[in-house]
Amino acid sequence: MNVSDAASFQIPYPQTVKASPEKAQLEKVDTPVMDDRLKLTIEKLRAPRSEPRNLSSEKLDEVEEFLNELESINGFYDLPPLIESFRYSMIRHHEFQANLMLKKMDEIYSDFKKDLQNKWSGLAHNVMGFTVAEDGQLKVTSPPDTLTARDEEILNTLLNEAKGLQPLSFKHAKTVIELIQLDKPQFEGKVKLDLSNFHKMIDYGLLLNKGALDLSSTDSWLDQLHKKAEKDPSERKQGLHIEA
């Protein structure tokens, strides 16, 4: 099926036996409406793997929501396994891309620390890291009462001016957020992560200073998320939903 066919794509309606108008009215089942956007998403899901599909987590969610509203998925039995398979492929792809970004970030951050030692030795001895703020800019992190407001201002400027570090870190943060949205079995109902609370959840300085590039490492971004999810036992018992 191609895009032009999508306009004529029809969902199956439950079969009813013709009887009196009153009985027919009772047996009528409301069926969710499938708009052109949803039809196109389903078409892409069913397309051969060799074809580019450009599907997002949000679009997969829309298809799942549509299927959940149906009385019967007759005619759509192929979609749940296709969605699961596509999510898995997206997760593996995002993990691979995120790992490549971290390796590059590690190189840049290492050069940044050397440069800081040479030009700002008074600041270089402080325990610090960095994260991504809500506006996408880098923000220095440190233990309480370690840095003055002026120190933070200088370090924030230097971090954002470090060649390539800010756009790469911002891209990695968005990739991690997409991963959390995709990996429902691991994170749904347990962790909420977006740009509004990312800076409270993941510290890149901690990650890079410890060399925790691998997801299985202590203090990796994944480990940091799990630690935050386990921080409040009372929340965890209720089905943790972290919000900043």
Tens-place pLDDT, residues 86-103: 889 889 999 999 999 999
Mean pLDDT to the nearest integer, 146-163: 95
Contact 43, 63 (CB under 8 A): no
Q: Domain ranges in the chain? A: 3-77, 125-237
Contact 143, 127 (CB under 8 A): yes
The pLDDT value given to residue 164: 95
pLDDT in tens, 187-220: 877 888 999 999 999 999 999 999 999 999 999 9
Instruction: Tell me the pLDDT band of 3, cut-offs 50, 70 and 90.
Output: very low
Q: What is the mean pLDDT of the chain?
A: 82
Q: Coil, strand, or helix at residue 140?
A: strand
**How large is the angle between the packed helices 79-119 and 149-161, nearest 10 degrees?**
110
- Report the predicted TM-score, pTM, of the whole model to 2 decimal places: 0.74
Least confident of 3-12, 20-29, 192-201: 3-12
List the structure tokens of 76.
């759509």
